[in-house]
Amino acid sequence: MNTNHSRQGRNARWRFMTMLAVAASLPFAAHADAQEGIDPMAAAVAHSFTMIEQSFISLADAMPAEKYGFKPSDGEFKDARTFGEQVKHVACANFAFFNEIEKKEPPSGCATGGPSPAKTKAELMTYLRESFDYAQKVLRTMTSANALDPAGGPYGGPSTRLGITTLAVWHASDHYGQLVVYLRLNGIVPPASQPARSR
How far apart are alpha carbons 84 and 65 in whole angstroms? Answer: 9
Cα dihedral 178→86→176→158 (10° resolution): -110
Closest CA to 186 of 71, 109, 76, 107: 71
pLDDT of 25 above 50: no
pLDDT of 23 above 90: no
How far apart are alpha carbons 164 and 99 in whole angstroms? Answer: 10
CA distances to 40, 49, 97, 98 from 30, in Å: 11, 11, 23, 21
Confidence band of 30 (pLDDT split at 50, 70, 90): very low
Cβ-contact 82, 69 below 8 angstroms:
yes
Which residues share a beta bridge with 157? 153
Confidence band of 36 (pLDDT split at 50, 70, 90): low
pLDDT, residue 198, reads: 52
How far apart are alpha carbons 108 and 19 in whole angstroms? Answer: 33
Which residues share a beta bridge with 160? 150
- All domains of the chain in start order, with CATH: 3-192 (1.20.120.450)
How far apart are alpha carbons 25 and 166 in whole angstroms? Answer: 13
Rounded to an integer, the average pLDDT of 84-107 is 97
Closest CA to 160 of 150, 170, 168: 150
**Averaged pLDDT score across all residues of the chain:** 86
pLDDT of 77 above 90: no
pTM of the model: 0.80
Confidence band of 22 (pLDDT split at 50, 70, 90): very low
Confidence band of 162 (pLDDT split at 50, 70, 90): very high
**What residue type is 101 in one-letter code?**
I
How far apart are alpha carbons 148 and 6 in whole angstroms? Answer: 20
Instruction: Please give the residue that has the higher pLDDT: either 108 or 18.
Output: 108
Cβ-contact 99, 107 below 8 angstroms:
yes
**Cβ count near 64 (within 10 Å):** 12
